[in-house]
Amino acid sequence: MTNREAEFPLPERTPANPFGAVVEDRLTSYLKISTFVEYYHTLHQAGHFYPYDPYFDCFMLFHPGLGHPASSHEWQETIPQLLETKVPILVTGYTEYDMKRDIDWVKETVGGEMDMLMEPGENRFRSLRWDINDLDPQDVSCGNWGVWAFRGKRYETTRKDPE
């Protein structure tokens, strides 16, 4: 949403809307779709979405560029906080290469502190439109071409019977 004010005016930040949420659609009285113009780690530190429910909540990252050299620094603080919630994180990518780069970056950043929930593969619900990079005509991609999912590592505990 940054630098898109001319295209899509942002709401004023008020005490009732401190993070500049744009409510895009209210599907029912219990479900709404919102876009926030704030970094997730700011919302996390404020406890805005707390408590998290791993059965009903998820985070959706549409081709976020986690491993892209130009944007990975923006995710450095956010990814550990997403993993802390133990909520599924679904991620899409433009190409197989894009997804692999994102996965490698996440694994490098968090080490073994993640569980892979869905192996990367082609997204059956991807965009059917192919885009060509004007600067490199051999670079062809498709919005949300692939999808994969992970979450913060869950550790199973066992009880030891007292003797």
* Radius of gyration for the chain, computed over Cα atoms and rounded to the nearest angstrom: 18
Quick check: 142 and 102 in contact, CB under 8 A?
no
Between CA 141 and CA 127 the distance in angstroms is: 10
9 domain-assigned: no
List the domain range (segments joined by +) for residue 68.
53-152
Predicted pLDDT at 131:
82
Residue 106 three-state SS: helix
pLDDT computed for residue 2 by the predictor: 60
Q: Is the pLDDT of residue 33 over 60?
A: yes
d(CA 134, CA 129): 15
**How much of the chain exceeds pLDDT 70, in percent?**
96
What's the CA angle centered on 85, arms 22 and 115, to 5 degrees? Answer: 120
Domain count of the fold of the chain: 1
Q: Is residue 108 part of a domain?
A: yes
pTM for the structure as a whole: 0.79
Residue 109 in domain: yes
In a domain, 12, yes or no: no
Residue 43 lies in a domain: no
More confident of the two residues 163 and 152: 152
Query: Is 131 contained in some domain?
Result: yes
CATH number, residue 82: 3.30.110.10
Residue with more model confidence, 121 or 39:
121
